[in-house]
Amino acid sequence: MLCRDIQTWVLIFLVISPTIFNISLSAGLDSRRAAKKRRMSEKVRKMFYHAYDNYMTYAFPHDELKPLTKTFTNSLSELGNLKLEYLPQKYNGSALTLIESLSSLVIMGNNTEFEKAVLWLSDNLTFDVDARINLFECNIRVLGGLVSSHILATDSTSRLVQGLYKNQLLFLAEDLGRRFLPAFDTPTGLPYAWINLKYGVMENETTETSTSGCGSLILEMGALSRLTGDPRFESAALQALRKLWSMRSSLNLLGTTLDVATGEWIEYSSGIGAGVDSFYEYLIKAHILFGRDEFWRMFQSAYLAVQKYFRHGPWYHEADMRTGKATYWQLTSLQAFWPGLQVLVGDIAAANSSHREFVYLWEKFGVLPERYLLDHQMLHPTEKYYPLRPELAESTFYLYQATKDPWYIEVGESIVDSLNLYTKVEGGFASIKDVTTMDLEDHQHSFFLAEMCKYLYLLFDDSFLVDRNYIFTTEGHPLPVMSSWHERIPTYIQSNGTSVKSENLAKRAHAMSLRVCPATTLNSGHSSQRIESACHIHDARGDHRCSTDDDCGVDSTTCRQRSCSMAGYCGLWFFV
């Protein structure tokens, strides 16, 4: 009898011990990962304050910090102004970096500094300055920074001492928005790229602008209209967007530069990088924020055209909007935002493989060079710089949100290490002039605080996002998705397959909350094991080309068969 009992116990032990062992192993792994994320978020917080404190000490209230000489630049009037034309004589800056830091301060939980900054801006900031600025840059950095911070200052979390905040940031934003309006007074409704904040459009102003310049205004100007009740901002941005979309080719492609007076294209070649990037981003994000079908229809056609004509395996080249024929085979640092956009669409597998290419390049050079010639496998001879661009960190954050794959944490860690190794100086973080020599340039761009530090921090600590649904503008400023702004609450599919309409379920019910890509640990032959994303799916033939749908395999997120495009590349052409 006793013997049989012992046998039974041994049997039970043998059955359950591997389970217990596995559970404790994975609990151990989980707690190590959590500790690592805490360590990393602390590291990023320190980076942010190193950049912020140095700005406040040596540059504030001017626009940006020069970290090598510990001085400042009034760069708002220089942004996008490659030839540095018509620079103002008496402009002393608009505290650009402080405005750009506001939402990051909130995300990192520093309400005291946020309050101090809000009060300083309320008392001192003025846009009545004789400075010619770039509409796009001023919109994404200044208007976006103010609108987003106004919402953060007035949400239910009571971050500011009661009674202190009387919508001062919104008044500033409204004043700025009004100064933008004359730019839209053109025969086409497409805005001038440049406007003088005090005097409006200058005589003989250039009529040339870019696709992103006139197609990436709808989030900030739309939000401003919803907040102020003045419809003019949203309607100007919408009219410009519709006009731009009407200029697409029969292939649903757009060019890069155009004339706002004639509505004619100047540059027919375009891709997903400079001059175009945020146009795509704003179509999908405007759909998420305002729920308008019109934005979705535009986005869907535009996205399909990009995948069809620009995509080459994990890369995106440029093509002529009229013929779809490839023009330039270049990988640029700005394009690294695209995988993040694909996460919002739910095209996680494509996001994953393209993100991977940018990571390879980051690893090869230590940071991302501005332009890499895909056809020659070499750096662009003159664009070897790295101005602290945040796009790879941004995509890494989105992909980690969607997959919870720890490999992305490792990518984030390597970005943090490189930034600290190559760009950190006593006076802040400096841009890199040449990635082959790692020589530095005396400039700490404001987007380092608005985007780079924010996305890295959120990668390791996303507590700000728990139970809240935000979209981030192209400059990383959060805007909440609210039913009052939403034309219709979309239907979300629950995990049990039923569909529901409810604002609560709208919270994080998009692709970012999916956990579809478990990690596998590969034994690399060295003592340290390398974590590999199980989502890294190559097209079946390995060269990313296909002749039939069978070559393409199944999309890991939707389980739908990917199909072969007319150009011979695999993709998921129908989604959501």
Chain contacts with ligand DMJ (rule: CB under 6 A) = 140, 278, 334, 389-391, 447, 451, 474-475
C-beta closer to ligand DMJ: residue 174 or 281: 281
Minimum separation from the CB atom of position 269 to ligand DMJ (A): 19
Q: DSSP for 98-116? A: HHHHHHHHHHTT-HHHHHH
C-beta closer to ligand DMJ: residue 449 or 572: 449
C-beta closer to ligand DMJ: residue 212 or 533: 212
Q: Of 276, 256, 283, nearest to 268 (Cα)?
A: 256
Tell me which H or E stretch contains 431: strand 431-434
Catalytic residues: 137, 277, 370, 391
Minimum separation from the CB atom of position 278 to ligand DMJ (A): 4
C-beta closer to ligand DMJ: residue 256 or 278: 278
Minimum separation from the CB atom of position 282 to ligand DMJ (A): 10
- Which tokens go with 212? 């992103």
Minimum separation from the CB atom of position 541 to ligand DMJ (A): 34
C-beta closer to ligand DMJ: residue 341 or 416: 341
Integer-rounded Cα radius of gyration of the chain: 25
How far apart are the C-alpha atoms of 77 and 194, rounded to whole Å? 10
Q: DSSP for 116-151? A: HHHHHHHHH-------EEEHHHHIIIIIHHHHHHHH
**E-state strands within 344-412:** 371-373, 378-379
* Alpha helix segments (H runs only) across 198-276: 211-215, 218-228, 232-246
C-beta closer to ligand DMJ: residue 61 or 390: 390
Minimum separation from the CB atom of position 151 to ligand DMJ (A): 20
Three-state DSSP class for 299?
helix
Minimum separation from the CB atom of position 137 to ligand DMJ (A): 7
Q: How far is CA 154 from CA 162, 163, 237, 549, in A?
A: 10, 11, 25, 51
Minimum separation from the CB atom of position 472 to ligand DMJ (A): 10
How far apart are the C-alpha atoms of 192 and 181, rounded to whole Å? 10
C-beta closer to ligand DMJ: residue 388 or 509: 388
106-115: Cβ within 8 A, 24+ apart: 106/149, 106/152, 106/159, 106/464, 107/454, 107/457, 107/458, 107/464, 107/478, 108/45, 108/48, 108/457, 111/159, 111/160, 114/149, 114/152, 114/153, 114/159, 114/160, 115/159, 115/160, 115/161, 115/164
